[in-house]
């Protein structure tokens, strides 16, 4: 139709310019239908209508990258763009690319309306993370639409090493530098031959060169045949490996074998992110406006061999201590021994102090237990850290015939000498004095209970205390029998439970973004409903459909936890079909989006009845989706 109109006007316009005005037999000259005014009108119609056909955008498929030369620490942004397609475009999947690891970022849609003609531009954005140095090519990609296949051209990309130091030294063998050459992890144990229970240092090093690495946590190790300290030391150094300078992040911890034989420590793993820059094609600003992208990476270290020797036959007081230790003990009123025997009375407390230090494993080692029937013994107080353990124990002599506190001994296995050693402290001389008459010592467990029961104990009676206790007990009984008390308790419990539920709900809103968006979607839609109704009452189609589009778009994005700006009809249909949404409702969604686009961009004329009908459809649709998208 447009071609016919164009051809007709192409004949009419030249003739209008050359046609002369005819003159009536009487009166002034009269311009005919082909006069200059009508020719000008025809020319305007030609200019308006012809671009619709002559300059309509053809369908095309192209691929672009943000840079053709990058380093190992740069990320390449690949954009696949489809022009001139009115409908939705299916997802474009990339093939395996040599030298790169691809990650899909998201789709992008650009809508253009010119003289009522709608044109869509669909883009699919990928991040390409280089995995090695060299020259690579992104092959030609194909896309089939409506039975016709479109192709992109191949693109060459050069990946260079970030450092100024050449990867291949002059005169050396040519090697291919990869990510594994830039970041890797190794583990080692020292010594490599130990006894069961002996402390062994486990060292883990993460080497990084020319890249930015952020670790999520310390390297993880699953114990198998050994136990390990719960903490580790960490420091950062610089080391030379194979003639190359690396930054090394070093972790050190201790492990303790629990069985003899040849065993493997590891393998080990640590998770983190490589920080890449999105390179910009701007020679003036350089990397000033470069953005960052994260690529998850898992580093692995091979298992380390460890030879574990069995312990020889142990003495009776051996408690599993392996390694060099120092054991000390003392007895006194404050845990120290004076120049002479410690003098105490029967029933006075003494403090037995024992300490253990060394380079073996302190945790789990048991110090000697003091047992003697001539002393009343209290439970010890134990203090422990990574390198020492101390015990303070109160002992009370029960007889003036006691002259010493017996010796205490501690046995351990010395891996350097390959034999057991026993350290003995004491005995500790003491002088026990008799108490004054009437102050004889009576310790629980040492007194004749039959004699105690026969004797009448001396009791001081506090009548006012007993009276207060009786009154309080009586009031408690009366209160418990009152139904109001139980109602109050129930209300308090219900209030506490409600507060805990509200607190947990608020915590989830703060930490779970998807849940928070779904929860607030309905209240947000109600607010937009009110504004949409106002534009409906004002009979303002453009603002009405803009608000209607925002209501439906934001509601779907919040319920499905998608970015509102990147929401497309194809993505909505895919998600809703997965949960078996009524096809009729999908058609309503599509129609509403189309009417919104026409009203907002093409300024289509819409009556008040049509706007009212679309508003009711939106209300019914939101009510239906609120039951489906939970």
Rounded to whole angstroms, the Cα distance separating 326 from 328 reads 7
Does residue 35 have a pLDDT over 60? no
Rounded to whole angstroms, the Cα distance separating 256 from 266 reads 14
Homologous superfamily of 60-160 in CATH? Immunoglobulins (2.60.40.10)
**CATH level 3 topology of 513-628:** 1.20.120
Which residues are 270's β-sheet partners? 299
Rounded to whole angstroms, the Cα distance separating 67 from 309 reads 59
Q: Cα-Cα-Cα-Cα dihedral of 36, 41, 44, 45, to 10°?
A: -140
pLDDT value at residue 25: 42
Q: What is the pLDDT of residues 231-277, one digit of tens each?
A: 778 888 888 888 788 888 888 888 889 888 898 888 888 888 888 77
Half-sphere exposure of 449 (CA within 13 A, CB side): 2
Cis preceding linkage at 197, omega within 30? no
The 10 Å Cβ neighbour count of residue 333 is 13
pLDDT value at residue 218: 76
Please give the average per-residue pLDDT across 492-502, as a whole number.
Answer: 91
Does residue 495 have a pLDDT over 90? yes
Which of 52-66, 118-132, 325-339, 608-622 shows the lowest per-residue confidence on average (mean pLDDT)? 52-66
pLDDT value at residue 574: 81
Which of 267-276, 473-482, 563-572, 591-600 shows the lowest per-residue confidence on average (mean pLDDT)? 563-572
pLDDT value at residue 372: 87
pLDDT level of residue 119 (50, 70, 90 thresholds):
low
Contacts of 375 (CB under 8 A, 6+ apart): 395, 396, 397, 398, 402, 405
Widest CA span in the chain: 163
| 159 vs 340, more confident | 159
CA proximity to 191, closest of 181, 182, 201: 201
- Statement: 179-309 belongs to CATH 2.60.40: yes
Q: Cα-Cα-Cα-Cα dihedral of 448, 450, 455, 456, to 10°?
A: 120
Does residue 462 have a pLDDT over 50? no
Rounded to whole angstroms, the Cα distance separating 201 from 199 reads 7
Query: Structural domain boundaries of the chain?
Result: 2-54, 60-160, 179-309, 325-433, 460-498, 513-628
pLDDT value at residue 174: 43
Does residue 64 have a pLDDT over 80? yes
Does residue 501 have a pLDDT over 60? yes
Strands of 341-492 (E only): list them: 342-345, 350-358, 375-377, 381-384, 388-397, 404-405, 408-414, 419-425, 428-433
User: 569-578 and 583-601 helices cross at what angle (nearest 10)?
Assistant: 170
Does residue 9 have a pLDDT over 50? no
Contacts of 520 (CB under 8 A, 6+ apart): 558
pLDDT level of residue 44 (50, 70, 90 thresholds):
low
Q: What is the pLDDT of residues 82-116, one digit of tens each?
A: 887 766 778 788 888 888 888 888 787 777 666 66
Q: What tokens does 78 get? A: 């690949």
CA proximity to 410, closest of 383, 391, 430, 393: 391
pLDDT value at residue 58: 74
DSSP 380-414: PEEEE-SSEEEEEEEEEE--TT--EEPPEEEEEEE
pLDDT value at residue 492: 92
Distances 89 to 67, 121, 123, 298 between C-alpha atoms, Å: 26, 10, 9, 35
Q: What is the pLDDT of residues 403-426, one digit of tens each?
A: 889 999 999 988 888 889 899 998
Taken as a whole, the chain contains a residue count of 630
pLDDT value at residue 612: 92
Same CATH topology for 60-160 and 513-628: the answer is no
Q: Tell me, what DSSP letter sits at residue 368?
A: P
| 614 vs 518, more confident | 614
The 10 Å Cβ neighbour count of residue 42 is 17
pLDDT level of residue 18 (50, 70, 90 thresholds):
very low
Distances 368 to 303, 379, 403, 407 between C-alpha atoms, Å: 38, 13, 21, 10
Does residue 289 have a pLDDT over 70? no
Please give the average per-residue pLDDT across 223-229, as a whole number.
Answer: 81
* Token pair 């095309």: residue: 60
pTM for this one? 0.50
Contacts of 624 (CB under 8 A, 6+ apart): 582, 585
CATH of 325-433, one of 1.10.390, 2.60.40, 1.10.3470, 1.20.1740: 2.60.40
Percentage of the residues of the chain whose pLDDT score is greater than 90: 5
Does residue 284 have a pLDDT over 90? no
- The pair phi, psi for residue 74, each rounded to 5°, is -105, 150
DSSP 116-158: TEEEEEEEEEEEEEE-BSEEEEEPP-EEEETTEEEEPPPEEEE
Please give the average per-residue pLDDT across 215-219, as a whole number.
Answer: 77
pLDDT value at residue 491: 92
Does residue 282 have a pLDDT over 70? no
pLDDT value at residue 5: 47
| 217 vs 137, more confident | 137
DSSP 180-196: HHHEEEEEEEESSEEET
């Amino acid at each position: 139709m447009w071609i016919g109109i164009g051809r007709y006007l192409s004949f009419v316009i030249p003739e209008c310019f050359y046609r002369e005005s005819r003159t009536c037999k009487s009166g002034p000259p009269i311009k005919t239908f082909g006069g200059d005014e009508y020719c000008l009108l025809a020319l305007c119609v030609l200019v308006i209508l012809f671009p619709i056909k002559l300059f309509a955008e053809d369908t095309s498929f192209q691929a672009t990258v943000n840079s053709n030369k990058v380093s190992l620490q740069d990320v390449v942004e690949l954009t696949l763009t489809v022009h001139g397609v009115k409908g939705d475009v299916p997802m474009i999947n990339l093939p395996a690319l040599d030298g790169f690891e691809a990650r899909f970022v998201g789709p992008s849609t650009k809508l253009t309306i010119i003289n009522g003609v709608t044109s869509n531009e669909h883009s699919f954005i990928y991040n390409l993370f280089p995995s090695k140095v060299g020259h690579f090519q992104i092959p030609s990609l194909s896309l089939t639409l409506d039975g016709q296949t479109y192709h992109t051209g191949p693109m060459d990309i050069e990946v260079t090493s970030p450092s100024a130091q050449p990867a291949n030294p002059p005169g050396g063998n040519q090697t291919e530098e990869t990510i594994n050459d830039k970041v890797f992890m190794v583990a080692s144990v020292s010594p490599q031959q130990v006894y069961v229970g002996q402390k062994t240092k486990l060292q883990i090093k993460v080497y990084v060169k020319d890249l930015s690495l952020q670790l999520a946590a310390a390297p993880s190790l699953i114990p198998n045949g050994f136990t390990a300290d719960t903490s580790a030391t960490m420091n950062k150094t610089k080391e030379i490996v194979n003639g190359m300078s690396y930054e090394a992040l070093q972790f050190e911890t201790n492990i303790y074998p629990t069985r003899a034989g040849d065993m493997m420590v590891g393998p080990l793993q640590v998770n983190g992110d490589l920080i890449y820059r999105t390179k910009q094609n701007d020679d003036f600003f350089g990397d000033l406006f470069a953005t960052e992208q994260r690529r998850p990476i898992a580093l692995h270290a091979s298992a380390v061999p460890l030879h574990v020797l069995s312990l020889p036959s142990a003495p009776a007081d051996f408690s599993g201590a392996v390694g060099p230790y120092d054991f000390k003990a003392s007895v006194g009123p404050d845990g120290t021994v004076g120049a002479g025997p410690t003098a105490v009375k029967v029933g006075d407390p003494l403090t037995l102090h024992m300490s253990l230090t060394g380079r073996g494993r302190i945790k789990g080692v048991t110090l000697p237990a003091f047992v003697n029937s001539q002393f009343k013994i209290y439970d010890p107080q134990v203090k422990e850290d990574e390198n020492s353990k101390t015990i303070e124990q109160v002992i009370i002599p029960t007889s003036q015939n006691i002259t010493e506190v017996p010796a205490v001994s501690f046995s351990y296995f010395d891996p350097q000498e390959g034999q057991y050693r026993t350290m003995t402290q004491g005995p500790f001389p003491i002088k026990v004095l008799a108490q004054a008459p009437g102050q004889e010592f009576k310790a629980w467990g040492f007194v004749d209970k039959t004699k105690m029961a026969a004797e009448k104990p001396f009791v001081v009676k506090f009548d006012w205390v007993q009276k207060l206790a009786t009154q309080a007990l009586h009031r408690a009984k009366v209160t418990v029998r009152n139904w109001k008390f139980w109602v109050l308790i129930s209300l308090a419990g219900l209030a506490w439970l409600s507060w805990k539920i509200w607190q947990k709900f608020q915590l989830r809103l703060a930490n779970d973004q998807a849940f928070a968006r779904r929860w607030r979607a309905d209240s947000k839609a109600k607010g937009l409903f009110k504004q949409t109704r106002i534009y409906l009452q004002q009979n303002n189609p453009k603002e009405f459909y803009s608000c209607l589009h925002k209501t439906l778009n934001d509601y779907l994005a919040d319920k499905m936890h998608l970015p509102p700006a990147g929401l497309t009809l194809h993505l909505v249909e895919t998600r809703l079909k997965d949960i078996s949404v009524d096809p009729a409702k999908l058609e309503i969604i599509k129609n509403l989006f189309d009417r919104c686009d026409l009203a907002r961009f093409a300024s289509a004329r819409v009556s008040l009845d049509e706007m009212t009908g679309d508003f009711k459809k939106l209300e019914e649709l939101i009510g239906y989706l609120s039951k489906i998208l939970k």
